[in-house]
Amino acid sequence: MRYAMAVDTKKCVGCSDCVVACQTENNVPIGFCRDWVVEVIDGTYPQLEVELRSERCNHCENAPCVRCCPTGASHIAEGGIVLVKPGKCIGCGACIASCPYDARFPHPKGYVDKCTFCIHRVKQGMKPSCVSVCPTKCMYFGDLDDPNSDVSQVLKKRKHKTLIPEAGTLPQLYFLI
């Protein structure tokens, strides 16, 4: 099993509903967020191109945060999801410094927090909260090993990219372009 997510940059309108849904679902402390929207404007006026991306942890296959964690609190769980065990985390910040996507933050309680792909929902057969609330339905989630899953289907049909592949992290968050 290999969970992955694809975000359609052509459909995303940057409403940040995914951010609010995540904060509500996961009880993210006020002022913090596990996902966010990036707007990239490219070109010279008037030939401008806009790309909107809903970003979060890339659940990398070669995860630097897991590699540098001194206690094994950061680990790769079933389905390739990168998770943190709060009871093992000492809050040293090594994983925060090691993430090229800056996807982690220290929870006010001390341990490091991040996107979990809403594993608690996925286990019950639901989609991650960001995916299920998206008003333009621009996000796809599923198992890459299953050729019929939403994400496998859309990645087969559409051109896509990952963020900073040159960092060697093998990210599993795809952007349809």
Binding site for another protein (CB under 8 A): 14, 16, 19, 31-33, 36-44, 64, 67-73, 86-94, 96-100, 102, 105-106, 109-112, 163-164, 166-168
Are the C-beta atoms of residues 64 and 104 closer than 8 Å to each other?
no
Looking at the Cβ atoms of 45 and 147, the one nearer to another protein is: 45
The distance of closest approach from Cβ of residue 163 to another protein in the complex, given in angstroms and rounded to an integer, is: 5
Q: In terms of Cα–Cα distance, which of 135, 147, 164 is closest to 8?
A: 135
Tokens representing 80 are 């390739």
Are the C-beta atoms of residues 160 and 177 closer than 8 Å to each other?
yes
Looking at the Cβ atoms of 82 and 122, the one nearer to another protein is: 82
Beta strands in the chain (DSSP E): 3-8, 36-44, 47-55, 74-76, 82-84, 105-106, 112-113, 139-143, 160-161, 173-176
The distance of closest approach from Cβ of residue 79 to another protein in the complex, given in angstroms and rounded to an integer, is: 22
Looking at the Cβ atoms of 45 and 156, the one nearer to another protein is: 45
The distance of closest approach from Cβ of residue 25 to another protein in the complex, given in angstroms and rounded to an integer, is: 17
Euclidean distance between CA atoms 103 and 111, whole angstroms: 14
The distance of closest approach from Cβ of residue 125 to another protein in the complex, given in angstroms and rounded to an integer, is: 30
Which residue carries 């592949």 as its tokens? 165
The distance of closest approach from Cβ of residue 3 to another protein in the complex, given in angstroms and rounded to an integer, is: 22
Torsion of CA 119, 56, 17, 14, to 10 degrees: -150
Looking at the Cβ atoms of 107 and 153, the one nearer to another protein is: 107
Looking at the Cβ atoms of 2 and 85, the one nearer to another protein is: 85
